[in-house]
Structure 1
Amino acid sequence: MATTIGEKIRSLRISKGMTQSQLAGQHITKSMLSQIENGKAQPSMGSLQYLAQQLGMEVSQLLQEDGSAEISKLLKEVEDHAKRKEYIEVIAKVKPLLEEKLPLILDVARLMEYYAEACFHTLNEDGEGAVDKAVEIYDHFGLYVEAAKASYIMYALYFTKSQYGASLDLIRNVWRQYKDKKSSRDVLFELSLYYAEAASLSAIGYYEESRNVLLEAISLSHDEKVYFMTDHFYRLLAGISQLIDDEENFGKYMYKARQFAQFSEDEQSVLMVELAEMECLNWKGQYAEALELIQRYPEMKNGNYRGYWFLQKGISYYGLGRYLEALEALSQVTMPDSAHHPIDKASIHSAGAYIANIYAKQGELDQARKLIEQVYETMKVFPPSPYLSFVKETYHEFCGG
């Protein structure tokens, strides 16, 4: 009969002459250790790492009966590539393993997770099988929270394929798994689940429900005094407030988003807040103020924010009646690789509606109709937003119906 994790921990503890109190130390209670050793509770990954350290070994040695030195070596290489965001290299090193019969060991599960995350970042659709393998391994060892975390990776993979309903179903299923089987609480993971659920809800147009989930997340952050992703929560809340025309709360949430972004000294987060401010000013018709803010951040014309920056610049020029400058800016709008949410996609696609309006003002009506028909066909399935409303208005104006 296979030895359980609890039995192995008990055997190793006794062989080293340690009492339960000595092994438990300050990290876990003696009662919890007793339950783990008797198979009545499963340790979290954090507890396993602590117990392995106390026993003078690696977690992989504690868990696996048939460890592989080659796989352990490969895992270290893949971890280094992942830290450097060298996702192509991660895929190249791990993909050959997918055709092999892999042992049920922890290192393989971690390799599968790195592979699935690399698939997300490279828009590769080949990550689902790797997630399934990681979940299988974690379940095998009774690491149910780790299994839930591995399943969570599929949320990002579904988003890259615009499968937002599947993403929501997955997150709610992961919530159930986590709540039913957790042996200890992981607040950071819970906050990640809240964010994924809120993003999925907003992606299918359930804005009120998304806002409620985000407020629950912020309440948890305050209760636990853990402010992981708080700037993201407030920024998403501000965006939803715009979508449901809640101007009062928009200002409050943007103020909070800016506070937490500056507190965390996260440059990327600060830039995202500034982009949201540019967008808000344009939506309110304060085009000169928006353009002034846009021109303060010329570095945004390169990198991840290029498409959004040129879009807001083009809208500002358009609103000011400077159509040639608007056309120049809008012609440089491209879809960012990171744009997976339909509202983000809608914003980028809406550049075509502004260009169509400029064509019409120049007397090029046939070109305007052709362009807006293409944009409308792409966007008509997106959830409600001011961008979609503008596209629809332009389409009906030029094409009727």
Structure 2
Amino acid sequence: METLGERIRKLRKEKGLTLQALAGSEMTKGMLSLIENNKANPSIESLSYIAQQLEVDRNELLEEVPTTELRGLLQEVEKLYKEELRELNDFKPIIEKIAPYADKLPYRYESARLLEIYSRCQYYAKMSDWQKALEKSEEMYEGLHLVNNSADVHMFRAMMKFNEHKYAESLEMLQGSRRSFENRNAVLDSLKKLDFDFLEAILYFALGKDEEAVNLMDEAIEYSKEHQIFYRINDLYRVMGFHAILTGNREKKEYYVHKLRLFADFSDDDKIQTTLDLLEAHDLNSFIHDFDKAEALVDRNLKKDKDGDHHQFYLEKGKALYGQGKLDEALTWLKRHRTADFLHHPYDLAMNYEKDAYMALIYEAQGKHSLAKKHAKTAKELIEPMPDLPYKQFILDVYRKING
């Protein structure tokens, strides 16, 4: 963190001033040099004169964390945070950058946002005291009347319960937050409304309340169309398409997949195309049982998988090979699959839990009964707390088959 002298020197150099130019007629070059090197403290009159010469407010020089430094830090941290969110990799460098400032931040937007990012990174890094910074951040947002930022904090807190698979508690918190904003007539922008709609709907799905979820999703889609807002439309179509697959509604599934492909072309987003291929491959494997077509879709994406992180495609590859009777090859791909740490919704978890059921079937076919029983038991224990989705029936059927 900069000292007063370092701050003066930095601003002087940014403005292209020499020591002599900044000293002007009111100070000596030697005294200014001593101040910049923290060997002398300026009087109030001298500080006011230096601030005038630098064309900044005197308080800018006196603040423990000046505005320019704060904004520079936030700009740097925002960039790092966005990069790490994509990778979900290492948040500690961001924590280390913010930590020296955390207890000295002035009461302003930049400080609140830094504390919010600090808290989120602490959570992702599995640090125990992440809520302390989040509470300070929310207090600042509320005091500064930054309602939409405060809403982000509320949603983040509720979704942490979701990550603990406490879906009912998460939904209660989210709805409580929404009511609290409505009761005080706080106006949320359209994007925040769609955030609340989407998160509330996926929590309804997680609890098996499909009717409430679909109604809310439909309302959100109509709202997006009416206001020409494309924010969240990818998420809305994707979840509705997946739900249509689970309920066997082929017409709706084709409708939402078609809409998503159009949106992917419009937005030139390869990630949406990849997600759609995965959705299609999953549908072909688990519901239509066209294993050749599923494998072709999977292979197309595995060719682009330079980083070796397409674990969902590994699972679908194994299922396609199993369906073709290529058991040894299927087992190799299934063993490579790992359930990502960031998956917490029952839809995502349940489809991943199929892996052990398929491995159990393969081991049983190979005459390795003890291994078959082990994996069938693992799949059963994982799926039991989940809602009654098609995966649950499949896994329980496999368990009963293996155990006679």
TM-score where L is the length of structure 1: 0.76
| Structure 2 residue identity aligned to 1:352 | D
- Is 1:301–1:309's contact at 8 Å kept on the other side of the alignment? no
* CA gap 1:88/1:380 in 2 versus in 1, 3 angstroms: same
For structure 1, list consecutive stretches of 5 or more residues without a partner in the other structure.
1-56
Deviation at 1:306, TM superposition (A): 1.8
- Whether contact under 8 Å (2:147, 2:187) holds in the other structure is no
- Does 2:329 correspond to 1:325? yes
Matches within 5 A, 1:11-30: none
Cα contact 1:144–1:182 (8 A) shared by 2: no
Aligned: 1:268 with 2:268: no
RMSD after superposition: 2.7
CA contact (8 A) 1:352 1:371 kept: yes
Q: CA deviation at 1:312?
A: 0.6
Q: Residues 352 and 183 of structure 1: is their aligned pair in 2 closer, same or farther, counting only changes over 3 Å?
A: closer
Structure 2 counterpart of 1:380: 384
1:216 aligns to what?
219
Of the three residues 308, 312, 322, the one matched with 1:308 is 312
For residues 1-400 of structure 1, the aligned pairs below 5 Å read: 68-69=65-66, 71-85=70-84, 87-95=91-99, 100=103, 103-119=106-122, 121-122=124-125, 126-182=129-185, 184-282=187-285, 283-299=287-303, 301=305, 306-399=310-403
| Higher mean C-alpha displacement, 272-281 vs 298-307 | 298-307
* C-alpha spacing 1:359/1:287, structure 2 compared with 1 (3 Å): same
* 270-279 or 110-119: bigger deviation: 110-119
How many positions carry a matched residue from both structures?
Answer: 338
Distance in 2, matches of 1:374 and 1:320, equals: 24
Structure 1 residues 384 and 301: CA distance shift in structure 2, 3 A:
farther
User: Alpha-carbon deviations, 1:243-291, whole Å to 9, x = none?
Assistant: 2232221121111122212211121122111110111111211111111
**Offset, 1:301:** 4.5
- The one-letter amino acid of 2:377's match is E
Structure 2 residue ranges without an equivalent (≥5): 1-55, 85-89
Are the structure 2 counterparts of residues 285 and 80 from structure 1 closer, same or farther at C-alpha, using a change threshold of 3 Å?
A: closer
Tell me if the contact between 1:356 and 1:372 (Cα under 8 Å) persists in the aligned partners. yes
CA distance in 2, matches of 1:355, 1:132: 46
Contact 1:131 1:151 in 2 (8 A): no
* Residue number in structure 1 paired with 2:44: none
Letter in structure 2 aligned against 1:260? F
Contact 2:354–2:395 at 8 Å: present in 1 too? yes
- Cα distance per residue 1:34-80 (max 9 Å; x no partner): xxxxxxxxxxxxxxxxxxxxxxx99xx9xxxx783164554343223
Identical aligned residues as a percent: 28
Shift of 1:126: 4.6
Q: Which moved further from structure 2: 68-77 or 254-263?
A: 68-77
Q: TM-score, normalised by structure 2?
A: 0.76
- Tell which structure's C-alpha radius of gyration is larger: 2
CA distance in 1, matches of 2:304, 2:395: 25
**Larger relative contact order (CA 8 Å, sep ≥ 6):** 1
Q: Secondary structure at the match of 1:220?
A: helix
Cα distance in 2 for residues equivalent to 1:89 and 1:143: 28
Moved more, 212-221 or 368-377: 368-377
